[in-house]
């Protein structure tokens, strides 16, 4: 039985780790928030008292943390997990972080003779719960081959984007587009409402028209249009505005470095920054809809 250590049991990591348990893996978990650990123990995972103790017997270590600083500190910091792991362990980091940090962590792992894959995800909390995430991997072919059966327990579509860091490049391009789509969809829905249309009817029309996109299909930002999405749960439980701002910063930094033109993302970034400054950092990112709703 494959032994997994899973570090970071938040909105995404919690259901991802639960899917590994239900796939028959032996899963040991750690999170700084005890409540998150307890929820996984209820699902059948074993609790560890620290990240170091979680990884010591693991074949595969999966991390799902907020940002690069957390990942670097977990792997490379004082009491980091790198040296604590078995010599043949595989590390998979599924957090969304900048490609340079992923390469730095990957290089540090590989220097010890162990394997590393950056494998950020797309599909949201619903995809994490359903085990239908898309994993976008960056890494050496042998590392990717070893990661594949583990990631298949949590996802449906797996891609190998290129060498270490390539998964992160692909992920921030995707999320930059997502920010543009969520802002644009919100703007269009509010325009419809302001002109007397029912947002559910408008959504149904766009779903069958040229404006159709993922936010309408899976994540409608207008409360009451879709059941069981963050907009119908007071914008809780999804992908936080502060994490979207982190990803937009990563995308804009990458664009500055490659001198790419990203005017649509600049506009979306302005909206998301303003939204966070208005006190919405911990809300789901579809709450950008409320910036357009003047009621």
Catalytic residues: 171
**Residues from 216 through 255 that contact ligand NAD (CB under 6 A):** 238-239, 243
Judge contact between 115 and 143, C-beta under 8 A: yes
Distance between CA atoms of residues 245 and 224, nearest Å? 25
By CB under 6 A, residue 33 contacts ligand NAD: yes
Pairing of strands 60-63, 3-7: parallel
Q: Report how many residues bind ligand NAD under the rule CB under 6 A.
A: 27
Q: Which stretch binds ligand NAD (CB under 6 A): 27-35, 138-146, 178-186, 273-281?
A: 27-35
Distance between CA atoms of residues 193 and 223, nearest Å? 12
Q: How far is the CB of 276 from ligand NAD (least distance, A)?
A: 14
**Residues from 106 through 125 that contact ligand NAD (CB under 6 A):** 121-122, 124-125
- Contacting residue, 6, 10, 220, 269, with ligand NAD by CB under 6 A: 10
**Residues from 124 through 163 that contact ligand NAD (CB under 6 A):** 124-125
Helix (H) or strand (E) holding 250: helix 241-258
Residue closer to ligand NAD, measured from CB, 26 or 174: 174
Residue closer to ligand NAD, measured from CB, 124 or 139: 124
Distance between CA atoms of residues 3 and 5, nearest Å? 7
Judge contact between 66 and 10, C-beta under 8 A: yes
Residue closer to ligand NAD, measured from CB, 31 or 118: 31
By CB under 6 A, residue 11 contacts ligand NAD: yes
Q: Which stretch binds ligand NAD (CB under 6 A): 32-40, 140-148, 207-215, 249-257?
A: 32-40
By CB under 6 A, residue 77 contacts ligand NAD: no
Judge contact between 230 and 155, C-beta under 8 A: no
- Contacting residue, 9, 55, 89, 136, with ligand NAD by CB under 6 A: 9
Q: Which residue, 145, 67, 52, is CA-closest to 28?
A: 52
Residue with smallest beta-carbon separation from ligand NAD: 10
Please report the DSSP string for 22-91 in residue order. Answer: HTT-EEEEE-SSHHHHHHHHHHTPEE-SSHHHHHTT-SEEEE--SSHHHHHHHHHSTT-STTTS-TT-EE
By CB under 6 A, residue 74 contacts ligand NAD: yes
By CB under 6 A, residue 70 contacts ligand NAD: yes
Q: How far is the CB of 185 from ligand NAD (least distance, A)?
A: 16
Long-range CB contacts (< 8 A, 24+ apart) of 213-220? 213/181, 213/185, 214/178, 214/181, 215/178, 215/181, 215/182, 215/185, 215/286, 216/185, 218/124, 218/126, 219/124, 219/182, 219/286, 220/185, 220/286
Q: How far is the CB of 61 from ligand NAD (least distance, A)?
A: 12
- Contacting residue, 4, 5, 12, 166, with ligand NAD by CB under 6 A: 12
Residue closer to ligand NAD, measured from CB, 18 or 65: 65
Residue closer to ligand NAD, measured from CB, 36 or 202: 36
Distance between CA atoms of residues 13 and 160, nearest Å? 21
Distance between CA atoms of residues 136 and 97, nearest Å? 13
Where do contacts with ligand NAD occur on this chain (CB under 6 A)?
Answer: 7-13, 30-33, 36, 51, 64-66, 70, 74, 95-96, 121-122, 124-125, 238-239, 243
């Amino acid at each position: 039985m494959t032994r997994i250590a899973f570090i970071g049991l938040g909105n995404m990591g919690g259901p991802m780790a639960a899917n590994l348990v239900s796939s028959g893996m032996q899963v040991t978990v750690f999170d700084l928030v005890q409540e998150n650990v307890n929820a996984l123990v209820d699902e059948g995972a074993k609790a560890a008292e620290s990240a170091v103790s979680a990884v010591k017997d693991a074949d595969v270590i999966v991390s799902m943390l907020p940002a690069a600083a957390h990942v670097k500190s977990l792997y490379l910091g004082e009491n980091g997990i790198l040296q604590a792991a078995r010599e043949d362990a595989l590390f998979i980091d599924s957090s969304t972080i900048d490609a340079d940090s992923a390469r730095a962590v990957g290089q540090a792992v590989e220097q010890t003779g162990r394997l590393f894959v950056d494998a950020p995800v797309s599909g949201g909390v619903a995809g994490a719960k359903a085990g239908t995430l898309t994993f976008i991997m960056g890494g050496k072919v042998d590392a990717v081959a070893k990661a594949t059966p583990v990631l298949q327990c949590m996802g449906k579509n797996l891609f190998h984007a290129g060498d270490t860091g390539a998964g992160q490049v692909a992920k921030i391009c995707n999320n930059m587009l997502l920010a543009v789509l969520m802002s644009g969809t919100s703007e269009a829905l509010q325009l419809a409402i302001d002109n007397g249309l029912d947002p559910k009817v408008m959504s149904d029309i766009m779903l069958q028209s040229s404006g159709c996109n993922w936010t309408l299909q899976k994540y409608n930002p207008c409360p009451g249009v879709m059941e069981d999405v963050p907009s119908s749960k007071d914008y809780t439980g999804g992908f936080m505005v502060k994490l979207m701002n982190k990803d937009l910063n990563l995308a804009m930094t990458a664009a500055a470095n490659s001198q790419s033109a990203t005017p649509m993302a600049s506009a979306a970034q302005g909206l998301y920054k303003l939204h966070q400054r208005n006190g919405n950092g911990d809300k789901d990112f579809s709450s950008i809809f409320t910036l357009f709703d003047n009621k």
